[in-house]
Structure 1
Amino acid sequence: MNVLSSVYLQYEQDVVSARSRGRQLAELLGLSTQDQTRVATAVSELARNALMYAGGGQVDYGVDAGDGVNVGDQRLMVRVSDQGAGIAGLDEILAGQYVSHTGMGAGLRGTRRLMDHFHVVTGPSGTQISVAKSLPPGVTLSPHEIGRFQAALDGAGPVTPVQELQRQNQELLRALSDLARREEELASLNRELGDTNRGVVALYSELEDTASLLREASREKSMFLSYVSHEFRTPLHSMLGLSRMLLSHDDGDLSGEQDEQLRLLRSSAEELLGMVNDLLDLTKAEMGGRELTLEPLDLSQVLGTLRALFQPLVTPYGPQLIVEEPATLTVLYTDAGKLHQILRNFISNALKFTRSGEVRVSTRRLEDDRWIEFSVQDSGSGIAPEDQARLFQDFSQVGVPALRTSKGSGLGLSLASRMATLLGGRVGMESVLNHGSRFWAILPLHSGTECPAIATPSAATPPLSSPGLGDPR
């Protein structure tokens, strides 16, 4: 440190002089008004401590020019030294854990916050405290400038306590003015925040109203679809019953043209009934599909019901339905309606979109008999990889339109996926072009268990084979 001036501490007046000298040097070095006040306050506190607790001392002022190039190394330096008994419990004082009725410790901690650099060396032979404040950019501490600063300090006259008090009052007024300005800015900011909060509250209220309207509209839509779908089913069943009776020739023979027209009518009615059933299932899932009715189910009975349900749809000219009996006695604790809905969608899709070969339904136990996999494998032509990702989306139909033997709403697989999720499981598929497809559902034996990430297909699954004519979903 290049020492520019020194003040010896013997009397109270010397503390005033030390404070004034620190502020003068800070002003000469181009520090801001606030930094000048910080330096003067720090020097005053350290000088008063040296006089009060050590009986006197010395304050040295100087500058650290660093390498003369790096501005960040240029600092105003102040060193306060005494020959007292040292500072006991320095670490506790600086940590704020020391309490003294004389106030010792608060000054040191405050000084450290005011300055950019703070260092203490203390012992039985005395104490030396060094503090520093970085200079603003653009200040060049050449030897000529340092000499000019020293001459200015030497030429400055002594400062009386009254003058220093006046200066402190001016600093206090400036601080109060800055505080008032900041309070006004804070009040303005609080008003802006208040306006913003009111706007956010109003926006939330509007969003809640909109969400309520959307929920009501969704409920009305679901109710409408449910009523319409339900009402459509009665005349469709009547059309199917009448066409079946006429095609049985119980009331007399029909011409070839009449027979063909009735078969077309029956086919169209079946397709429309399938779409109506899908829409009804969708509305049920939206309105109350998250409620589960759990009950014990015998796996053999479940498969037997499915076999009886779909057997009338099997013809000598289409794919054969093979429902494999489970290898062991298995009882599931699940929702019967949702389980049947998943399997019905898989099997009906396989029968509708496979023209020859077979549709095989099988089951197997997984993961220490805590899970069961239902598999429906067909002998269709398979599904292209780019179409497989869309299979479980609402109203999604993929495949080659020219090969479709039936039409649908595109809701069956998406509903199956929703039902499996509600039961705590998941669905998936794998398909190889010209080698058929396999759709599977992994469900817990006791619903409510999280579904594991089980790799499929497994070695226990028959290979995809027996190419058919078409497999659009």
Structure 2
Amino acid sequence: MTPAEAGASGEQERILAQMPLTRQDDLFQVRRHGQAVCQALELGEAGRVRLVTLASEAGAELLGSAGLSAEFVRTAGQPHRVAVRFRWKGERAPSHDLLTASHRLLDLCVDDRGCLLLGQDLTTPLTADEAARRVDAELAGLRGPDMSEELRRQNSQLLQALQDERARYEELERLNKELDETNAGVMALYSELSGELEETNRGVVALYADLEDKSRRLRLASAAKTRFWANVSHELRTPVNAVIALAQLLLDEGADPLTDEQHQQVSLIAGAGHTLLALVEELLDTAKAESGRLEPQLVPVDLRTVLHQLRGTLASAAAEDVTLDIADTAFPGPFTTDEVMLTRVLRNVLSNSLKFTASGTVRLTVEAEERAAGPWAVLTVTDTGVGIPEDEVEQVFEEFYQVRGAHQRHVSGTGLGLPYARKLTELLGGRLTLTSALGRGTEVTVELPAAPVPPGPGTLPKEPLLRGVVIVDDDPVFLRTLRPTLDRLAETTTEVTRSVEALRTIRTTLPDAVLVDLAMPSPDGYQVLQQISAVPSLEQVPVVVLTSMGVSDLDRDRLGRARAVLSKTHLTAERLAEALGLVAGAAGPADAQDTKEVPLP
């Protein structure tokens, strides 16, 4: 650093010692003075060795230059610093290796043609006077040149440096060994985990194959059960009809007169025959519903007449302390449904309430609701009966399931009433829900569209209505069963079994419609719907949700702009066409609010 540089930086520089360098012995004095100055200014051992060693090397390289001298200086700026400045005349310059080492090992190294400044930062901020006093004391204590002592000290310092380097080398060797051992352990663990993962994958594949086989067997068993029900119901209907007909002949006024006892017994036979026929009809309808062969016949219905008939039919089934209260009201506006199915639904629900209500009231109310999809009828049956435990509410919709308890001892039934009523309600395009609490009665709500669109055969043309459809579903069995249905609707069908690829496939193919399952690995169907809604270019593509979930399990706030929600059960091309607005009478696209009102068929 030149005086000009020192002034520019604002540092206060004081020369502590200086000497000319003309011969080899002067280098010895540079080292001794350097050691003394650094010690007086409390420079650490490591910094002292670096500065004195490099200063000695610089003096040795420059020795012989004209006017060569060495100055020991101290600066009081920020930071405090001790330095050795060499000055000389001529073109001679320190070597590149020396400058490189000085830049790397020292805090200061400035080479300015005829001036070389080497320095180290100080950690002890001494005042200028104190620093000068200490340096003077150290220099005064130096005796005559004792080269052997200096060499011993240098050798001791070098030996200490070698020992430090050796210790660092040994530590590095130890760390390298530990790293090698760790790497070996990691590789062994990786091999072990890879083997376990491969074995697990083989087990998963075998399990999946076993599940496929069991699913196939279950489907065959279900189909066999359905056929059995249908065959048994058909076989039972003939003799039951014969029993009822014969009983009616015996009770006819033109027949031979019967005694009072005989008349009562034949009446009991006729009543039991009618009850048995109703059970047979329910079994047959349940079998038809499961096989998809039970189609509603939609006609205008006088709801008041239906309720009046139920009131007359069920009045005798009420216990002595039970009041049957059925609303005497007409539906405001046209009401279109299957009258037989509606009657059976309400009769099963009301009969179930009457069976398990010993005292109080069984009430049926009717309300009209205007929804986005049109007018709906909400029929609610409440009772003051024994109620159902909360953990068994959903189980009562399983076929043949009956809630266990003391109340069952005197009540007959097959366990088909509520499952049968729910199936019929869904076939009519509505939904049936139940809430109950043990000891506090039960409430059953039947919601039906007042003006549904009759699906009927022949509503679809022979040629596909769409160019392309994308279906996002991870169930290969369902996709396989749905292919014939989609072939009737679209020329091409793109199946996406990994939901992560759904959005990219939809944006690439630009289909005429998208079908999305909800229950899939992440991202699930709700997330796929959100992804589709976030792309403006897909705004006009209709989306329909296909699911096996119940209505109560749907998160309606996350359905996005889905047009409709359809059950996977008994899914037909006509129902899909209606949901997509492809046939006459189908509803148009629904916004997010409309979607919330679309029930699960």
Q: Normalising by the residue count of structure 1, what TM-score does the alignment of the two structures yield?
A: 0.50
Mark the structure with the bigger radius of gyration: 2
Q: Normalising by the residue count of structure 2, what TM-score does the alignment of the two structures yield?
A: 0.41
